[in-house]
Structure 1
């Protein structure tokens, strides 16, 4: 045994027999509804756990491990049951919770986790209501709050000079609350907005209804404030109505997992058809400010090294329906490190207290009564719960997803927004490509800026599409110029009238008869119509219907008069040509 101990010290590796295990609960979501899949984040969490346990300066004499992967399937009831089952077990006692995947599953657990004096660290739950510390006192997240989505969408609309958007909102608590925030941001920015509430259980019936896509109002820009399952059904109906690019654009959330349009079965649209309407669509993603891929982090890996190791582990799980790449992988990795750093801070504080050192923590008992070793923690120990919560609040480190620190509401700071586009790769599969990014702080509005090699023409191949609004073109005329034109047109009509009288009274004279009086009538009628069209061309009006009628009448009169006048002249020229180029000497009698 002594030899084993010395060997462990020599290799600087943790020895299993001397290490005390610290447990945390791990609740994920299976991707039902389009959230990050269990298989997608578990490799990142396992990697973080291994890296933490390899770090000899972190949680010495302890090994951090989860109690098992529990799948909430993004269901609030199931999430509560799994959490309470974990807490009710006599052993092991968990010191924290990482999860519970989607916002729907996280919300109910986040409200009660504080009663058990443990922190909950989420890597994907973005619902802004969690910022209420009176309800969610022990909830933290390594992803920014979705409160930035509203300003991000407004910034996106301003980037493309769009002033109208139609939103489809799922009739669910999380999406309803997001819609309320969107409406405030859109109203502030003077954006014309239409919203369609959809019940997941009545999707097909509502989507098939008349004017579901606001066809009567000619909307061209749509945002899907729904989960991916509902998004697939909406896009399928949109495909049948030919609401596709480049005349229409669809915007989705960027947290949909990879290949979300291929999930499940749809009796109407195939996966290839859905991919066709998704292609060239846009996706919005809130994400911490990223670091250089080669910059070393406090977790022992660079972002590039993490991505390499993560994808290697992901490949070993191929074939599992629950395994897909998720953008939340780096956030989940940093969530485990957040818990590890916090527990390490608590461990150091307990060690200092045992030596007689006095500490003062905001909101906690200054006497330090109730402090016990981490392995002796119980859910009833409020002092330990307060210290652990304080340690998470004070945690600050550089992770693979960027700088990790929390604001007073437990949300990730230094957030930004990314604009991505679905594009076909060389292998003919769709992938998300970053085209623009911005910084979003609270409810402040900031502007997107294109990344290198991206412009309006690269995002929209035929140019930025219209948002469907009617454009009003104002034409102004000089009053003096209008008077001159009207006077000349009136003088021309008078001249035509004089010529008409002359043609009628003198038509029997030989000279007039040779000019074909009947054809003269047609020429005078055509010229008169052209003169009359001038009055319609310059008619002033601010009414849309009047201007539309005026333009139509002007076009008809101008073309009719031109054809009558010059068509008749060409006919007379043709007859002259015939007379002078007729090879016979026979005479033709003029009958007109």
Structure 2
């Protein structure tokens, strides 16, 4: 068995490690050996199309394709059904891939980017906010995520009062947020654009005790300290502007010490992966965060294929009978993947009706220049685990808008009497002057 794998520097070793464990087990696919045929598409859809053609028209026959990036997965998953191929991705987050009509054989161990939205809505309700604003980079993944967020906040009775977008320069969009009194702001953009946004945020003073920013949690921990020639703000400026913002991040490594189907805990997996990488710095190794998802993707595939052996045998068929015109074997693999449920190094692996991974979300806040975990949210169970260590500049979460209060102001009786006396004297003096002018109107 084999699969095509456009992957990252850490994901391919992670997948190979999973294959070695699977092939060493006598209780999983005992009569078969999984083989990984991998190419690097460099996240380029054009390159991926060429590689897909090469994979399909060279021996051996491929049974599953395993792309990485969302752009590559879109191309591969849309074409795969023509060859009756299952597609299982480890690194695709685009919400567009959740379309079962367009991508009927697609699964992913990486959750959809829309999984952040239930967490955001839960936090809005926790902090009693009913009015938010958004700013997004104009790309398909963020537009789809924002459309989903708009639907969810509407159902929760929350209003999006300001919706701004930009392509490369966020200056005008940030100014519009300030002009329209945005207070609770959801930002959807890549890391490089995040630095541009917060440089403008610093210039417009759109930060401090009156504002809360919600960002994506998969940036590097020091993203705001990285020198960037595209901005003209200092590290001190950026550090001041980003203080207190909240991030949501999909949990990609099981925080619990649990031995899953691979008989490894998440920490043991990290140790083994670092050994394979030769001690490389994780922050400088592409795909390191997604490595647990790549590991669990191989296990999901192996368990699904193992589950199809008996049903196929009952019908006088075998996995090796698969070819690109064989729909029956594809359907069996699809059913097996669709019912997957096991403990992996990234947590519990289960797919929803659209083939997307269900997972927990980590909530962090930037406190004193470093990220602190403040909670977890399980959207499938609607369970918020809160640590009660969130910190606010004004000692409490800010209001979501300028608050206007009508109050009665009571005057001192002594002050009222004094002003009334002086006002009466003024009126009397005015009458005297007017009478004098009328009476002596004919005198030059």
Correspondence for 2:24 among 42, 50, 54: 54
Q: What TM-score results when the alignment is normalised by the length of structure 2?
A: 0.82
Match of 1:164 among 117, 120, 131: 131
User: 5 Å matches for 1:133-144?
Assistant: 133-144=100-111
CA displacement, residues 513-560 of structure 1 (integer Å, 9 cap, x when unaligned)? xxxxxxxxxxxxxxxxxxxxxxxxxxxxxxxxxxxxxxxxxxxxxxxx
Matched, 1:183 2:160: no
Q: Identify the residue that residue 177 of structure 2 maps to in structure 1.
A: 214
- CA drift of 1:297 comes to 0.9
Residue 393 (str. 1) matches residue 345 (str. 2) = no
CA distance in 2, matches of 1:66, 1:312: 20
Report deviation, 1:476.
Answer: 4.9
Alignment check: 8 A CA contact 1:164 1:191 kept: yes
What is the 5 A alignment of 1:143-542?
143-188=110-155, 189-199=157-167, 203-204=168-169, 207-209=170-172, 212-245=175-208, 248-256=211-219, 260-261=223-224, 265-269=228-232, 272=235, 274=238, 277-287=241-251, 293-314=256-277, 316-318=279-281, 322-323=285-286, 325-326=288-289, 328-350=290-312, 353=313, 357-358=314-315, 371-374=317-320, 376-413=321-358, 415-423=359-367, 432-441=371-380, 448-451=384-387, 454-456=388-390, 459-467=391-399, 469-476=401-408, 491-492=417-418
Say which of 38, 43, 46 aligns to 1:68: 38
Residues 32-67 of structure 1: CA deviation (Å, up to 9, x unaligned): xxxxxx124334223222222222221224332321
Aligned equivalents of 1:487, 1:240: Cα separation in 2: 48
**How far is the alpha carbon of 1:389 from its aligned partner?**
1.7
CA RMSD of aligned residues (A): 3.5
* Runs of 5+ consecutive residues of structure 1 not aligned to the other structure: 1-21, 29-37, 359-367, 425-429, 501-592
Q: CA deviation at 1:143?
A: 3.2
Distance in 2 of aligned mates of 1:377 and 1:431: 52
Check whether the contact 1:159–1:447 (CA below 8 A) recurs between aligned residues.
Answer: no
Over alpha carbons, which structure has the higher Rg?
1
Structure of higher RCO (CA pairs closer than 8 Å, 6+ residues apart): 2
Structure showing the higher helix proportion among its residues: 1
Contact 1:47-1:333 at 8 Å conserved across structures: yes
How many residues matched? Answer: 425
TM-score (norm 1): 0.63
| C-alpha spacing 1:396/1:438, structure 2 compared with 1 (3 Å) | closer
- For residues 413 and 341 of structure 2, what CA distance do their matches in structure 1 show? 81
Unaligned runs of 5+ residues in structure 2 are: 427-444
